[in-house]
Structures are given as structure tokens and as C-alpha cells.
Structure 1
Amino acid sequence: MIAARDPFPAPVTPIPFRKMHGLGNDFVVIDARGHAFPASPALLGRIADRRLGVGCDQLILLEPSDRADARMRIFNPDGGEVGACGNATRCIAWLLAAEAGRAQAIIETRAGLLRATLAEGVVTVDMGAPRLGWGEIPLAGAGADTARVAIDAAGIDPALPGWFSAVNMGNPHAVFFVEDCDAFELARIGPALETHPLFPEKANVSLASRAGPDALRVRVWERAAGATLACGTAACAVAVAAWRLGLVPEGPVRILLPGGVLTIARGGAGSVLMTGPVATSFTGTLDPALLILPEAAA
């Protein structure tokens, strides 16, 4: 006779979380400044799953920092850690500034220290200077001109141009300027472009088209996350690429994403400033059962 097994394994300390988003690009934020969090890929993927967990584009861990208000770690749904996320940075800046009762915050990331200011319901983040060198993106092989990188994408979609602009904003981006970004089946071409041999670390892929003299309409396929309603680093990358190619004036650029509008401007010392709103969807506590993976409970 097989003994019945308790479907709920031994309790695990409940962990509070906050669900936030920037223009629909959503995050589960866990404050791990007071305790360690077991950031295993399997567990992170379970929390990010929109059916089995809370659901998010990225999971954000806050950890202590001796150089900033906090350290921010960013994980994709597959558990892989990435260096930058513009929308998440705005969300975390808002949290840290509100916590400290001031209008500024400094956040430590894998991409460096990011400084943010709050004003009239929006957050501006200095995303630092873009990296534009071939090996900095990085791109495979050898080359020099990252403003117009040749690519044979006809097999992926014959309507794609034979070149793209490459920019690293803490993570690699490939920007394709097209007549109408809405005319493409992003869910089909995104995975093929993300994993193209040109990108040894994969790439975030943006389709951008003109929407006015100082505006670009953009759709983004994020590596390991898929199509998202907004991507802050992609908005920065598109603006940088458009400036380099002379497609828009040197002043602020409005990036029109499916989730809303981000304004990208130049800062000092070649840095890029990103401005946009943030929001909290809800707060809650992770169910202890969620934190125990099926193989651990067997």
C-alpha cells in the first residue's frame, strides 16, 4: 500500500513581491536586501510563468549595494541574467526614491551605475553612453561599421532590409528600419533574428518606422522574452541608431511602442536619457507551494 503524500510540501517562508510595469513591460520585483533569494533558473522561470506563477517579462531582484541605493539584478523568464532593462530601471528608481523620500535614486546594475530622477509622474534615467564597437555589441566575425551591418535576412522575411544598425545599451540590439513595422509577423521572424549567427550573445530585435519628424514607431522582440509591449533599452537603441544615420534631428525623439511612448534624449558625455511612466499593478506574497519545484517535491 502506497502512503498518501501531502500535496503541499514543507512550508517555505513566504516572500513578498510587487508587480510593476513600464508601458506594459511587466516585472515581478522581489526585495532581497534583507535575505538571500534562491535565484535558480528553474525557480525564476516558475515565477515568471503566466500560468503557473505570477507572470512577467522579467524578474527583478533588489540586493544590497555599497555603491548605490540598491543593486538591481534582471532575469529573463528562462532564468538567464541580463545586464540592463530600461523600463525596470525606471520602476526600481521610483521605488527607491519613494522609500528614501527624495526625487533621485542611484541603482547598481551589471551595466554600471544608473542615475534617475523623478518629476511630474515620470522617471528619467541616465542609461549611460551606448557602446558601438563591433566587439562591444558583440557581433560575430570582424567588422567596423555598426551603423549599417549587412545581413542576409531574405530567408527569414524577404521584406526585411539587407542591413541593420547595432547598438549595445547594456545588452545587444539590432535595429531594422522598415517602411511599416506593423506589416511584419514579429512572432515568426523574431526568434530567427534573435538567434542569427551574427549575434554570439543573441540580440534584442527592433523594427522601426517613421511616425513623424521626431518620432519612430517601434516593435520589439526581446531575447528570451519574446514580443513585449515596451522595451526601454530598445527605445534608446533605436534613437541612437536613428541619430547616427541622420533619420531624426539631434534633439529628443519620441519612441511609440505598443504600450505607450518613451522620450529619448541626449545627456552629457554622450549618455542617453530615457523618460517615461511607471506603475504598480499589485502586491502580494508568493505561495510557499510555488517555491518548491515539482522535482523537489517528488
Structure 2
Amino acid sequence: MTVSFTKYHGLGNDFILIDNRHLPQPIVTPEQAIKLCDRNFGIGANGVIFALPRQEQADYTMRIFNSDGSESEMCGNGIRCLAKFIAEIDNDNKTKYKIYTGAGLLGIELQPDGQVKVDMGQPKLLASEIPTTLGIGNGDEKIVNQTVEVAGKSWSVTCVNMGNPHCITFVENVIDIALEIVGPQFEHHSVFPERTNTEFIQVISPNYVKMRVWERGAGATLACGTGACASVVAGVLTQRNENKVTVELPGGCLEIEWSTTDQKVYMTGPAEKVFTGVINESIISS
């Protein structure tokens, strides 16, 4: 079996995009995705994204396997890459799409300057929606400035679900965080039954923050779109930043707005095509 693919990245968060419109299920298995994402023996990526047939009112359905073979509900940088990818394979000058994801139906708009704006929907803030067992235990409270013990230290965290779970903590300097040590311990902490993405945020000004991220299923990455969205929401909840913020990640900047009118979060950022190719059967065979 050979499979055509296109490699894209969003601020260095890179993905293998596959045209899967002919079948309702991914044509690559999670085990094969692990091999494809390997940066030494495969193509190399943070995940594999499939453009599947439409569901409900959507133009396409998105599914994503992380580099560890787990499946995410959606991915902010990935959905921008998917938008550029489907615009290329459709080749019809369309600029607006509706994409069905594990986080629901999301709207995407290709901007004239090459940026991609995504309607990320309303954040979920209750403990049961994250999900997390932090809080008083009934699941119907927001997790804002709660304490959790990780790596022998007490951290003040705020939790937000942007289609996938996020745990945000504000720090003096993001460079000082030993990400490879504390990141996995946050991800697999017992208070997060479905694991979690973790963002470490340094507030530079009310409308500019720096972020480092440990992604669930992918580890340290150069950018995380849902994480940037969740971090801005957490900053508003803890009165650290405004509702419209530039988020600086290791791979570049995203513009995030938590709208005061419809309570939705809007993310704007780039997506770049890297190369195309064909997956050799020997790479993904057992």
C-alpha cells in the first residue's frame, strides 16, 4: 500500500496531512502513525491528520492521531493546516469551511494575508468538562487558581477545555521551566483522568504573553493552538490579561481573542506547506 501525503506546519507544530475523503475511517492505523511521526525512521511529525468525508453540516471531518498513537479531539495548529490542505485539494477558491471535529463543528476562514482564522467555540470551564478531579468533587465548579502537587512543588493552576483538556500555570519566566521533567508529570497526574496538555505562561503585558507547552500525546512542541486559546481564557479568569492577546510560542505568535459578545474564542495564525510525498509500504508495515 502506498499513501500520498502533504507535510504542513503551524508555527513549527508539524503534521502529515492525508486525503481520506474516499473512506469514513482513517486509512492509516494509530500504530502506523507512530512510525510515520518518527523523526529518524519516518517522515517526522507531531501528528497525522485525516481529511475525511463530511458529517452533519460540515464540509469535512477531521481526525488526528498524535505521535504516540493516541487520538486527540482536535488540534488548533492542525486545523489551520487542514484548512490550507483542503483548499489545495478542492482548488475552488473557497475561503470558508465548516470542519467537524471531536470537539464539535468549527468554522475556518482563510484570510487574504495567508493567515487562517478559526472559530474555536466557547471554552468549557467546569471540572467535569475538563475533566479533572480538582476542586470540591462535584464537578460543577470552575478550576481557577487551584493547587496541585507536581515534581515536589505546589503549582497554582487554572483548567480550561478547548475541545481538549488544558492545565495552565503562570510563572515568572518560561525559560526556567524544566519542561521535559514537569511536563510528563502534569500530563499523567492522577487528577486528570484523560491526561492533560499543560501550558506555562509568562505575562509580559495585559495583551502579550509568552508560552511553553507540553502536549498530551506529543510532548514538548513549538506551538499549540488550543493551548494558546486556553491560556488566554485562563488569564482573563485570573485577571492577568485582557481578552485579546498575542501569544508568543517558541515557533512564533498567535492572535487569540475571547469575544465578550458571543463568548467564543477566535484564533488567527499561519499554516505553511512544507512538502509532498508518497508513504512507502515498508515504512508502515509491521
1:192-243 CA-to-partner distances (Å, cap 9, x unmatched) read: 1111111000100110011223111000000121000000000000000001
- Kept in 1, the 8 Å contact 2:203–2:241? The answer is no
RMSD between aligned residues: 1.5
Query: What secondary structure is seen at the aligned counterpart in 2 of 1:60?
Result: strand
Structure 2 distance, partners of 1:285, 1:39, is 13
The 5-angstrom pairing of residues 165-180 of structure 1 reads 165-180=158-173
Q: Residue 77 in 1 paired to residue 67 in 2?
A: yes
TM-score normalised according to structure 2 size: 0.92
The 5-angstrom pairing of residues 141-156 of structure 1 reads 142=137, 144-153=141-150, 156=151
Structure 2 distance, partners of 1:103, 1:224, is 31
1:150 deviation in Å?
1.8
- Kept in 1, the 8 Å contact 2:5–2:278? The answer is yes
Deviates more, 1:44-53 or 1:195-204: 44-53
Structure 2 distance, partners of 1:51, 1:134, is 39
* Counterpart position of 2:22: 34
Q: Residue 258 in 1 paired to residue 250 in 2?
A: yes
Query: What secondary structure is seen at the aligned counterpart in 2 of 1:240?
Result: helix
Greater C-alpha radius of gyration: 1
Structure 2 distance, partners of 1:83, 1:45, is 17
2:97 to 97, 105, 110: 105
1:73-115 CA-to-partner distances (Å, cap 9, x unmatched) read: 0111121111010001111112233423121111110101110
2:10 to 11, 18, 22: 22
Query: What secondary structure is seen at the aligned counterpart in 1 of 2:184?
Result: helix
- Kept in 2, the 8 Å contact 1:27–1:88? The answer is yes
- Against the structure 1 CA distance between its residues 210 and 37, is the aligned structure 2 distance closer, same or farther, given a 3 Å change threshold? closer
The 5-angstrom pairing of residues 1-298 of structure 1 reads 12=1, 14-35=2-23, 37-66=26-55, 67-98=57-88, 99=90, 100-119=92-111, 120-140=113-133, 142=137, 144-153=141-150, 156=151, 158=153, 162-250=155-243, 252-267=244-259, 268-293=261-286
Structure 2 distance, partners of 1:277, 1:37, is 26
> Aligned partner of 1:107: which letter?
I
- Kept in 2, the 8 Å contact 1:194–1:223? The answer is yes
1:241-264 CA-to-partner distances (Å, cap 9, x unmatched) read: 0011111123x1000000000000
Structure 2 distance, partners of 1:157, 1:184, is 14
- Kept in 2, the 8 Å contact 1:70–1:107? The answer is yes
Query: What secondary structure is seen at the aligned counterpart in 1 of 2:128?
Result: coil
> Aligned partner of 2:254: which letter?
L
Structure 1 distance, partners of 2:131, 2:44, is 30
Structure 1 distance, partners of 2:107, 2:27, is 28
> Aligned partner of 1:110: which letter?
G
1:157 deviation in Å?
5.2
- Kept in 2, the 8 Å contact 1:69–1:96? The answer is no
Structure 2 distance, partners of 1:284, 1:157, is 46
Structure 1 distance, partners of 2:78, 2:169, is 24
1:152 deviation in Å?
2.1
Deviates more, 1:36-45 or 1:264-273: 36-45
- Kept in 2, the 8 Å contact 1:93–1:106? The answer is no
* Gap runs ≥5 in structure 2: none
Count of residues paired in the alignment = 276
1:167 deviation in Å?
0.2
> Aligned partner of 1:15: which letter?
V
Query: What secondary structure is seen at the aligned counterpart in 1 of 2:158?
Result: strand
> Aligned partner of 2:274: which letter?
S
Deviates more, 1:73-82 or 1:23-32: 73-82
